[in-house]
Structure 1
């Protein structure tokens, strides 16, 4: 079973369709009951770095390419930019139901456990 440290995930780029950079992985959310990562929180790419908007991406749609050492999703840049996004305070609060909104937006598999 391959393992990695969370610090080795944070800061990595999330790539979309055709290898385009969607943003940088800012956080991971782990289900404490199962110990599984449920979401990556990606700060969208901006002109001069990060955009200040955070996009939760269900882990179930993310794949890791060990040859390229990259995290990837089959999502276009336009679809990613239109995905639910939040500021830092909103991501920290379960009141925004960002987990449910992201699951619906990406039509992620139903076996995802809500992060809230």
Structure 2
């Protein structure tokens, strides 16, 4: 993995409050009981603000086959240092019923509204 060089020093991929997007990928996601729900597949950035808008959580499947990808509004995730992963305060059943994305999600302008409405998060 290439790292940016700044003044001769390799840039950190994690600080107390910041983490590189590449390091977020694969991080476990837990429910509030500490049960593993899946992992972060990727993050989606708002093009205008540069802020992370959604985490794509993968869960289910076996060896990468049959997985579903659920976009979670970033503000629904909280990092837990004890677990070493993100916690989402939603039941497994509710997460399984959440909107998923398909190959065509980029051509479906309504998907982000459906996701935010499902989680009760303003868009």
Structure with higher Rg: it is 2
Q: Higher relative contact order at CA 8 Å, sep ≥6: structure 1 or structure 2?
A: 1
Q: Which TM bucket (shorter chain)? A: 0.7 to 0.9
State the distance in 2 between where 1:15 and 1:69 align: 10
Look up the match of 1:55: 70
Which among 64, 68, 91 is matched to residue 76 of structure 1?
91
Output aligned runs, 1:84-95, within 5 Å: 84-87=99-102, 89-91=103-105, 93-95=106-108
- The question of 1:11 aligning with 2:26 is answered yes
State the distance in 2 between where 1:2 and 1:40 align: 17
Normalised to the residue count of structure 1, the TM-score between the two structures is 0.81
Q: Which structure features the higher share of helix residues?
A: 1
Structure 2 portions without partners, runs of 5+:
1-15
Let me know the Cα RMSD of the aligned residues: 1.8
Which among 86, 93, 103 is matched to residue 116 of structure 2?
103
Q: Give secondary structure in 2 for the equivalent of 1:2.
A: coil
State the distance in 1 between where 2:19 and 2:42 align: 14
- The question of 1:40 aligning with 2:25 is answered no
CA shift in 2, pair 1:94/1:58, >3 Å:
farther
Structure 1 portions without partners, runs of 5+:
none
Q: Give secondary structure in 1 for the equivalent of 2:26.
A: coil
Q: Is the 8 A contact 1:15 1:23 kept in 2?
A: yes
Q: Give the number of aligned pairs.
A: 107
